[in-house]
Amino acid sequence: MKIICEIYRSTKEEGMYLYVKKEEGLSKVPPDLLKLFGRPQQAMVLLLTPGKKLAHATVEKVAESLETQGFYLQLPPRNDRDPEAERLRAFNSKLAGQ
């Protein structure tokens, strides 16, 4: 498995990032999520491969979310979250309840 992934930084929430497949861009991200996320600022392009280390998730979790939802939403650590961030959490069902 190799996925070229674009990572965007939120302009509304510190520590919130949105991962998408580079070839799809933001096309599969729900409009309501983009509204809450703010204007996406490109942070980096990354090649996801098995065994690659990510700061806050496993490559497998990110890849699964990219395949099933078309995006992966990385939220700030729980102790930094506010109610708006919790609503955003609902957009990434794989993270719900953690």
Residue found under tokens 């939120």: 10
Return the higher-pLDDT residue of 81 and 27.
27
Does residue 78 contact residue 98 with C-beta atoms inside 8 Å?
Answer: no
Q: What would the pLDDT profile of 23-34 be if each residue is shown by its tens digit? A: 999 999 999 999
Euclidean distance between CA atoms 32 and 35, whole angstroms: 5
Out of 13-17, 19-23, 90-94, the most confident range is 19-23
Arithmetic mean of pLDDT, 29-42: 95
What's the predicted TM-score (pTM) here?
0.78
* CATH code, 3-89: 3.10.510.20
What's the pLDDT score for residue 83? 67
Specify whether the CB–CB gap between 12 and 82 falls below 8 A. Answer: no
CA distance 10 to 41: 7
Q: Would you kindly state where each structural domain of the chain is located, as residue ranges? A: 3-89
pLDDT at 48: 95
In contact, 17 and 29? CB cutoff 8 Å: no
